[in-house]
Structure 1
């Protein structure tokens, strides 16, 4: 079967589905090709929850978060519950926060993040550790704590289903178990070979996560080096199910723990806790699905900093990170191919904003992402 389509999105994780939805909101009928089955656990988009974390000081991330929030609000509720559970986020610690500045030696502290949120009208307050522990007795805190009530959790699996529903409702298609076997572009379009035939697209959007380098490398696109790691957060059981739990960031001091810590409550599964970006480097086509050397340290961290959780109750998960050196996203276009990559375990909450940016790039060859996200 040979087809023609104005837009084909290759990769049906949250970034690809968000891009296809953004295109459909503008009257297009994109085709999404995903190599795996619906609900697969091979990439980075599966699971019930993701941290909806707004503790950023970089302007480009806060701008993208604003676009993302518009998208989340437009997606609304699924099953009678909003896709964003805004139960609040607490951030504390003296280490480096997330974002590109953190990798360049200019990481903002929680006071600087608070100032940026305040300037944008995003609710946030600074608490001392004693007050924070009174509000959330399951946790210990360092001296100054940033509380962001307009943050919390994104319902990940429910969001994927709703994005697909919206795409199909608008006349687009999501084709599961439909790998793109080859991609070739010329001045007039992109030819995508699949197991069922060839699709000739005006523009292709590639959002394939851990497979970005191998997929885009053959097109001569100068992506930055991308490292794929297997990460092992875990759910822990609360000792008292009545205690409130926020989402959280702990920006740990260098040398205290292997990496920053993040987490959030997941109803029915416990409280997710994970070290950020410390997993073993893996080949996504030969992923071992095994615990790394830091799994035991995660229980020790919980024992020290989260007295409201049972450290012996860990149920570990496996997910992949695909990261650039500075953890900055890549959102750009070369010829007829638009691409998004390097979301480094912090991308899910930004997905509707990322999809909007990639749709901009696909619809308008003159459009540009923020400078921090362009090829360098």
Structure 2
């Protein structure tokens, strides 16, 4: 089904070991796909033309502390590419142990469009879980023009996009009692879900102001995504679960991986779901929820390299016909594509 097409080399360095360390965003109207990956204190942002199948063009953002701190470098802990309705092009959300920065992906500059310090925006910036978990940002999503970033305290930072270069901060969401592990939004249904380290899912009311419902999974959640009113949960134990947004019921459970699930990607047009793991495997499935057919998660494709640790795998278009995979300590991103065999080749095989 899928075949490996090429390996794309990063501008410098290797891929860092953060969950969901590969973000993707595509613009169907312009045939452009953007990807972003963390490399230590740098973020590499690449883009290409899907129709012309051009080579990947890279830009690098170097994050550092203000000059008063002697330009001390800090680790980036989360990266997200989101497309608020108020903008023509996506933006990159870069979260670290101290800051949240907003960057323009079309005109990449070392100067962010907007910045917040965690110390100033969080109620309790200091380590809060047994005093052994340092500050960090993790999980990025966007609902309409509200950009959401999870933090170690359980608070979700809200940044409003009011135009191409106009951003303001809004009151934090404080419903989680433990560290946020991921946030995801279904752009079509405007359903936003967040998850925390205790295994609780919060399904937010539209437009992300209050809690609609809570689901206690009793699982160590690492990553999530939302597709067709289903929340797909990837756990630290390698388990993949599907929960109904409407009822909160567990609809399906798959022992998909032998190590932590590090990313869940969805393709809305085809209802494909892809999970990837530290075990070096990514799996593509198709989600069937349309009645009168039975609820089903149908296996479609997988690939595995036991010597690699996948930190992120993302569909690079809405159809789910192309994939990018990022592995720890690698200087390359591996690209896959659905290759249609000719009738003669299919007959001979």
Higher RCO, 1 vs 2 (CA within 8 Å, ≥6 residues apart): 1
TM-score after normalising by structure 1? 0.28
Higher normalized strand content (fraction of residues): 2
Greater share of helix: 1
TM-score, normalised by the number of residues in structure 2 = 0.30
Larger radius of gyration: 1
